[in-house]
Amino acid sequence: MSEKVTIYDIAEKLNITAATVSRALNNNPKIKESTRELVIKTAASMNYKQNKLALALKSGRSNNIGVIVPRIDSNFFASVIRGIEEELHPNGYQVIICQTHESKKRENENLYTLIDAQVDGILMSLTDVTSENDGAFQYVLQKNVPLVFFDRSKHIEGVSSVTINDFRGGYLTTKHLINEGCRHIAHFSGDQSLEIFKNRFLGYKQALLDHGIDFKEEYVIYTKSAVEAGKEAVDKLLQLETPPDAIFSASDFAALGAIQELKERNISIPKEFCVAGFSNEPFTKFMELSITSVDQSPLEMGKMAARVFLEQVDKTETIKIEKKVVLAPELHIRKSSSRSTF
């Protein structure tokens, strides 16, 4: 370790006090111009670097923020993180990454660890496991650390959130499928204790209703967000008395599985069967049979979450802010559901 240079070293060299050095370096107006210049020059020549840990201890602010996601290796979450990092970096914050792997236990652990590490804020997307226990969240709030949910959110007093309008996403997609002539539209959903899945489902339902199509319980299948799950779900659907002629999947991966399964059964897409997904994962665009999907503008979502945090971080402690930002979803219509256009 190269000998660390502190303000005391600079002070000693110049026969002044550390306090003066500190003030000079912080542009305190009470310092004589000549002294300031001398200190700054000497600091530079001695290769002085401010010890951020000491500063953090003194000020109580670490300039770190924590980000908790189910996993980082999904395009959606990685893009959100990118947005967060890009917005926060210029403000001098470092981004600490934690993963939950959809485990509530790890979610709680991460929350406690981050608070212990004195982060200045936490931005997170919930696990898909339901839980009534808000203990860890209350702990965060009680420490007065700004907490912002993005995408996967739930209502907790004092917690802000940035989401997209999932209802609208579901509605638009379903409406589009109806416009393409589909009349028996199935839906792949996720755990509806998560608002995102609930709302996509409700949008789907409302669209059916508004267009005079009966909602059928049996058309709703709960799948994991995985290719295999999509295949199995199609298998189930095709055994119904009236099999559907379209699927609105709340997951791109399940949508892909569905398409693979349909192809294997020689069902022509989009002619006989339309499919649409959700998230606009890169592969949906790349496929030869490109997949219609709802874009969640993850980059924008990350930046927005970061901005909400920044707004809250310096506010007086007494005012509890609870901001709900809802971004507009964007339906990308592609081959898998385009009977007319392509």
Residue 61 to residue 50: CA distance in whole angstroms: 15
Window 7-26: contact mask with DNA (x via CB under 7 A): xx------xxxxxx-xx-xx
286 part of the interface to a second copy, by CB under 8 A: yes
Where are the extended beta strands (E) located within 70-181? 94-99, 122-124, 147-150, 160-164
Residue 280 to residue 196: CA distance in whole angstroms: 15
Q: List C-alpha distances in Å: 83 to 74, 79, 96, 168.
A: 14, 6, 14, 23
In the complex, minimum distance from the CB of residue 331 to DNA, in angstroms, rounded to a whole number: 50
User: Can you say how many angstroms the Cα of residue 160 is from the centroid of all Cα atoms in its chain?
Assistant: 13
Task: State which of residues 33, 116, 217, 241 lies at the interface with a second copy (CB under 8 A).
Answer: 116
Q: List C-alpha distances in Å: 98 to 55, 78, 281.
A: 24, 12, 22
In the complex, minimum distance from the CB of residue 10 to DNA, in angstroms, rounded to a whole number: 8
In the complex, minimum distance from the CB of residue 291 to a second copy, in angstroms, rounded to a whole number: 10
In the complex, minimum distance from the CB of residue 332 to a second copy, in angstroms, rounded to a whole number: 16
Which of DNA, a second copy, none has residue 289 at its interface (CB below 5 to 8 Å by kind)?
A: a second copy
**Residues 43 to 82: which contact a second copy by CB under 8 A?**
49-54, 56-57, 62-64, 71-75, 78-79, 81-82
42 part of the interface to DNA, by CB under 7 A: no
Q: Whose Cβ is closer to a second copy: residue 316's or residue 340's?
A: 316
Q: How many residues does the chain have?
A: 342
By the 8 A CB rule, do 119 and 140 touch? Answer: no
214 part of the interface to DNA, by CB under 7 A: no
143 part of the interface to a second copy, by CB under 8 A: yes
Which of DNA, a second copy, none has residue 23 at its interface (CB below 5 to 8 Å by kind)?
A: DNA
